[in-house]
Amino acid sequence: MGNPMRIRAAASDGVTEVKVLMNHEMETGQRKDSSGNLIPAHFITELNAKHGDKVVLQAEFGPSVSKNPFLSFKFKGGAKGEKVVISWVDNKGDSRSDEATIG
């Protein structure tokens, strides 16, 4: 299981803004280590954001996304006290899911 994410969500005027900080190496597969061997690729491939049962964002990530990526997005709806769930899957089949309460 991956490392925990830091998620913040705030609702105002019927719009919820979500900020996610992911903890991931995001290794491109292009770099070499000190002895010249290729470092195997290791990056997030899919990300999913849910508000209740409804998927509000789906994203495909690739090796061009930075290490420890930060993602910010807004969706219509959402109220204080409700939950937002973010989950990702990486190319090694590892996954992580974290939730935050809308404040």
Partner 1 sequence: MKTRPMMLALAVAAAIAAPAAMAEGSTADGIAQYRAMLAEGNPAELWELAGEDIWKEKAGPKQASLEQCDLGKGPGVVKGASAALPRYFKDTDRVQDLESRLMTCMQTLQGISPDNFVKGKWGKGEMEKMEQIVAYVVGQSRDMKINVDMSSPQMKKMYALGKKAFFYRAGPMDFACSTCHGEDGKRIRLQDLPNLTKHEGAAAGWGSWPAYRVSNGQFWTMQHRLNDCYRQQRFPEPIYGSDVTIALSVYMAKTANGGTVMTPGIKR
57 in contact with partner 1 (CB under 8 A)? no
CB 3 within 8 A of CB 25: no
Shortest spacing between CB 12 and partner 1, in angstroms: 17
CB 94 within 8 A of CB 37: no
Binder to partner 1 among 40, 58, 67, 77 (CB under 8 A)?
67
Q: Can you read off the two tokens belonging to residue 91?
A: 């190319």
Binder to partner 1 among 15, 52, 62, 70 (CB under 8 A)?
70
Closest CA to 20 of 7, 1, 33: 7
**Binding string, residues 11-50; x marks residues near partner 1 by CB under 8 A:** --------x-x-x---------------------------
Let me know the angle formed at the C-alpha of 90 by 29 and 30, rounded to the nearest 5 degrees: 5
Interface with partner 1 by CB under 8 A: which residues?
Answer: 3-4, 6, 19, 21, 23, 66-68, 70, 72
